[in-house]
Amino acid sequence: MLKKIVECLPQTDCQMCGMTCADFAGFLLSGDLTTAECPVLQEPAYAEKAAALQELLASLARRAKSGHLIDVSRCNGCGICVIVCEYNLANSAACRLGKGPAADEKVALRVVNGQVVLADENLCTRLLQAADKCSKCQDHCPTQAIVLV
């Protein structure tokens, strides 16, 4: 994600913001700086990049606490993410058998009406992992419908 943000910046490393473009991108990602603080980006020549960056940052604002950014328009409801999910596997007997979880099973991910939903973002194991965070749902999704940011 950081790389995508850098790509939307002018990449001049002019340091008018007091740092390099890569460092500035990091502060955009953390929310500590806004695009308005890059004077170069305000120039007409960079209008297209500025618009792309705004769109990218708006999508980031929609991410779940666990980091999931789900594009349901890409989801085909295959359920692969549900049965490979680290939390689901540890807590759902049905998932361990390669099936969708029962209605009364508490799970992080499930498919509802043919599309994936983050049933409970608080159950995602990423929230407890400082490093080597789980990314199985993202890694196994055949349509790139799940992005972890």
Q: Whose Cβ is closer to ligand SF4: residue 29's or residue 145's? A: 145
**Minimum CB–partner distance for residue 111 and ligand SF4 (Å):** 5
The nearer residue to ligand SF4, 14 or 102, going by C-beta atoms, is: 14
Helices (H), 75-135: 80-84, 86-91, 93-96
Give the C-alpha distances (Å, rounded to integers) separating 56 from 3, 4, 11, 63, 125.
12, 8, 17, 11, 25
Of 59 and 125, which CB lies nearer to ligand SF4 in the complex structure? 125
Count CB neighbours of 148 within 10 A: 18
Minimum separation from the CB atom of position 4 to ligand SF4 (A) = 15
Vertex 8, ends 13 and 70: CA angle to 5°?
A: 140
Q: Residues in the site for ligand SF4, rule: CB under 6 A?
A: 9-10, 12-17, 20-21, 24, 38-41, 66, 75-81, 85-87, 108-109, 111, 116, 124-126, 134-137, 141, 143, 145-146
